[in-house]
Amino acid sequence: MQLSVVLSAFWVICATIVAMLPMKYQFLPGVTLLICAPALILWLGFDFGWFVSALALAAFVSMFRYPLRYFWRKWSGRGEVE
């Protein structure tokens, strides 16, 4: 089995565990997962092609839609950041 698949599965398990934590303990591991995800997505795309990478990106955006929306508003200067 490819190492990229093993690490991606480990990433998913870690994301599930972080989601079960209380909100005050989610920030640091959540940001770590957020930073690691693009590298894993690109690695999966390198190993298996662009379609698998697109599916992984869709899953990532679905899981992190609220943090991504927050950072997008913060970086683009659109709207108030709560």
Query: How does residue 70 score in pLDDT terms, banded at 50, 70 and 90?
Result: confident
Quote the CA–CA distance of 42 and 33 in Å, as a whole number: 15
pTM over 0.95: no
pLDDT for 25-48, tens place per residue?
Answer: 998 998 899 899 999 999 999 999
Q: Contact 80/70 with Cβ under 8 angstroms? A: no
Q: Tokens for 39, please give them.
A: 């590298």
The predicted pLDDT at position 79 comes to 64
Show contacts of 29-32: CB within 8 Å, 24+ apart: 30/67
Quote the CA–CA distance of 63 and 56 in Å, as a whole number: 11
